[in-house]
Chain A
Amino acid sequence: MIGTFLRIGLINLRRDRVAQALTFLLPIMFFSIFASVFGNQRNATSRISVPVADEDQSEYSRKLVKALAAEGGLRVVTTKDRNAGTLSAAGGVRLEGSKDAGPEGPPLTRSDIETAVKNGAYSVGIVLPKGFSEGRNIFQNDPARPKIQVLADVSDPIAPQMVMGLLQKVSFTAAPDMLAVDGMGMLEKYGGPLTPQQKQSMDSWQKLLADQTAAGKTAKDAEGFVGVPIELVNVMQPGGDSKPTVSFYAAGIGVMFLLFSVTGASGTLLEEVDSGTLGRLVGSRAGMTGVLAGKWLFTALTGMAQLTVMFIWGAVAFGLPLMSHLPGFAVMTVFTAAAASGFGLLLATLSKTRAQLSGLSTIIILAMSAVGGSMFPRFLMSEGMQKMGLATFNAWALDGYIKVFWREAPIIDLWPQLLVLTGLCVAFLTGARMAARKWETL
């Protein structure tokens, strides 16, 4: 008897291609997508681009910048690009052969770095403030001394921590000779003056360390010391407010489920095909264009309501700063829901049955959400994956919400996202109208 059930199941599975795709193809697809997203992540974070403003311009600060540039995990930028007015990649000395580096411009300032981090060009930057190396002595805790500042967008939880760690490291290894002098100074101060013989030995050790540093070698002896004073500054929320993180997830999850819900709502079109209701609707004054326009508008309005409810819940339950970003949120929500509604209609008109729509939408929406940043922030992905993400609906919608809630961008700055979403919406609706011809006059 059990064998009979197995036989029935096997026959059904063999003849249902959607079920086969969901059972076998979907897991493989998602494994591949996530392997690409997370697998390449290490490569991406192992070489973080970091702009550095050396406002101190001391011997120690220059050594520090040079040592940072020598770190395999960092790609240091110290100057503006003369042509584009943007930051160029350079590492203490200008990076030879760097593709994206134009002619070298003026050195970076703190405000350059703050702007670059705020607008999302970099997730972390370093400011070596003037005077931070004066009286530099790692054995002395002087709260009045300016601290090295790491300006960070804390939405990236990895890069700032990595930069801070490397900064600590190079602060020791960049100038071991200078550290040795500091140490001897402290010894003489509290332990009495060195004998001429001791002083001679120390001088020769210091020279050896200086030579090694010049030759690019690090001083392992310096490791383990108390770190240089470094301050992490969250430039997105100076007060250290982490609530916008909630807005990222509200947008990410919201857009993904918006796509699911609009696809489900558009699926009523297929039910109407089956029930013959679509024939009756198409035969009315509305025609197919009217039917699609009506469905698009209703689904778009439902989508707007869905996103609004989600963000209101975020505001009430998790302190999401909705009210202070209301205009940007409204603009993004209208354009996102309108385009998503077009996407749902396109999928529905391309499908023959509700089951086919369900399978197709699951595959496409989950893939777009993974690559487009709904599940995992795009800025933590490799550059290749980030570029691939731009082919998805999610990426443009999320970039817009991030601009509103994280980068505090004015509405005018949303134009690239709004333009793309509008273009996608038009393309989706045009495709849907063409695909729906199969249900019109035969």
Chain B
Amino acid sequence: MIRNAEGPLPSTLAVGTKGEPNMSTPANAALPLEVAGARKKFGDIEALAGASFDVRPGELLGLLGPNGAGKTTVIKAIAGRVHLDEGTIRVFGRTLTSRDSRPDVGLVPQELAVYPLLTARENLEVFGALYGVSKSELPRRVSWALEWSDLKDRSGEPVKRFSGGMKRRLNIACSLLHDPKLVLLDEPTVGVDPQSRERIYEMLSALRQAGVSIVLTTHHLEEAEQRCDRIVIIDHGRIVAAGTLAELLRNALGDSRSVDVRLQAPWPAASAQPAGWRVSDDGRQVTVEVASLGRDLGSVLGAMNAAGVEVADVTLRGSTLHDAFIALTGRELRE
């Protein structure tokens, strides 16, 4: 349990929203989460095909993958809502089956799982009580959650009057009242405006300051790039890559650079582009990964000339998570 003199998580606000994560957990302590060889089939569909990854203390891990890749299934398995066919889930060193209670885990569902006719305070009170917060502790936890989610001024209003972003924040707060040390968020920023998204990440950052470990699934590559300490890319139920952004880029693309070539006219349908070249949907842009600019750029432009396409513009840029994602999964990340 992460505590300070004032008790569990309310200290989060005292720590503030800036600064580095509290990594005070001893290095030899059990990891917050270890998923090993997770397999799950729904009928003929293999949702998880031996997924393995772990979460380190106080880190924010981004679980990235296209729709149907197995992100939600693995999150539900960690939360005990999906029974694995094979594999193990260890939370803080404790191997858990789907029947075991998970007082250290907080699951934030993708849906807005709050009661619209109840006020924010009432929602927090009922979910706090259901998740085992004692009667004496509950008022303090609710006050913390309202302040943490920036909903204190609207705590007496029915949730149905809230904006999408406010509902999202409340949805997250409802899962944290029992002071979990590992928080799982399934698409926490889906459908919210950029300001609300920023606010949600500020909240998560505040949690990390208190040493809470966070796993979130997301479709937003930029978010994963900017916000997550490490990223796990999952596809077809398998972990295809894991690491920091730099590690992912290096492992997936080496030291290559991306060359975006803008064309005067769409790429001729009759002419096949060389392997590894990606043509945009409108056919007017070709993206090529090159290992060495000096050596490869000339040959790229020469090949275009040979194919009879006229180049309008050339842009050089460093590789992004998007490039790595496509290189690893062979497909775009769909919404």
Chain A residues engaging chain B, CB cutoff 8 angstroms: 274-277, 279-286, 441-442
Q: Contact check, B113 vs A280: say whether CB atoms are below 8 A apart.
A: yes
Q: Contact check, A281 vs B112: say whether CB atoms are below 8 A apart.
A: no
Of the stretches B54-62, B77-85, B320-328, the one at the interface is: B77-85
Kindly state whether residue B114 has any CB partner on chain A within 8 Å.
Answer: yes
What are the residues of chain A within 8 A of B9 when measuring CB–CB?
Answer: none
Q: Contact check, A280 vs B127: say whether CB atoms are below 8 A apart.
A: yes
List of 5 A-B pairs having minimum Cβ-Cβ separation, nearest first: A276-B111, A284-B130, A276-B113, A276-B109, A277-B113
Tell me which of A275, A277, A283, A286 has the highest count of chain B C-beta atoms within 10 A of its own C-beta.
Answer: A283
What are the residues of chain A within 8 A of B53 when measuring CB–CB?
Answer: none
Q: Contact check, B127 vs A283: say whether CB atoms are below 8 A apart.
A: no
Q: Contact check, A277 vs B82: say whether CB atoms are below 8 A apart.
A: no
Known A-B contacts A441-B98, A442-B42; A283 and B80 likewise in contact (beta carbons under 8 Å): yes
Contact of B82 among A274, A285, A441 (CB under 8 A): A441
Q: How far is the CA of A441 from the CA of B98 in the complex (A)?
A: 7
A277 to chain B, nearest CB (A): 4
What are the residues of chain A within 8 A of B98 when measuring CB–CB?
Answer: 441
Q: Contact check, B131 vs A285: say whether CB atoms are below 8 A apart.
A: yes
Q: Contact check, B110 vs A283: say whether CB atoms are below 8 A apart.
A: no
Tell me which of A274, A280, A282 has the highest count of chain B C-beta atoms within 10 A of its own C-beta.
Answer: A280
Kindly state whether residue B254 has any CB partner on chain A within 8 Å.
Answer: no
Q: Contact check, B111 vs A283: say whether CB atoms are below 8 A apart.
A: no
Binary flags per residue of B97-117, CB closer than 8 Å to A gives 1, else 0: 011010000010111111100
Contact of B81 among A275, A279, A285 (CB under 8 A): A279
Tell me which of B79, B109, B130 has the highest count of chain A C-beta atoms within 10 A of its own C-beta.
Answer: B130
Q: How large is the interface on B (under 10, 10 to 19, 20 to 34, 35 or more residues)?
A: 20 to 34
Tell me which of A277, A281, A285 has the highest count of chain B C-beta atoms within 10 A of its own C-beta.
Answer: A277
Q: How far is the CA of A217 from the CA of B99 in the complex (A)?
A: 83
Known A-B contacts A280-B127, A442-B82; A285 and B114 likewise in contact (beta carbons under 8 Å): no
Contact of B127 among A276, A284, A442 (CB under 8 A): A284
Kindly state whether residue B132 has any CB partner on chain A within 8 Å.
Answer: yes
Kindly state whether residue B174 has any CB partner on chain A within 8 Å.
Answer: yes
Kindly state whether residue B76 has any CB partner on chain A within 8 Å.
Answer: yes
What are the residues of chain B within 8 A of A285 when measuring CB–CB?
Answer: 101, 130-132
Q: Contact check, A276 vs B81: say whether CB atoms are below 8 A apart.
A: no
Kindly state whether residue B205 has any CB partner on chain A within 8 Å.
Answer: no
19 pairs from A and B in contact (CB 8 Å cutoff):
A275-B112, A275-B114, A276-B109, A276-B113, A279-B109, A279-B111, A280-B107, A280-B174, A280-B175, A282-B81, A283-B80, A283-B81, A283-B107, A284-B131, A286-B130, A441-B80, A441-B82, A441-B98, A442-B83
What are the residues of chain B within 8 A of A283 when measuring CB–CB?
Answer: 79-81, 107
Known A-B contacts A280-B175, A284-B130; A441 and B83 likewise in contact (beta carbons under 8 Å): yes
Tell me which of B76, B80, B109, B113 has the highest count of chain A C-beta atoms within 10 A of its own C-beta.
Answer: B113
Residue of A nearest to B98 (CB): A441
Contact of B114 among A274, A277, A279, A282 (CB under 8 A): A277
Q: How far is the CA of A282 from the CA of B81 in the complex (A)?
A: 9
Binary flags per residue of B60-96, CB closer than 8 Å to A gives 1, else 0: 0000000000000000100111110000000000000
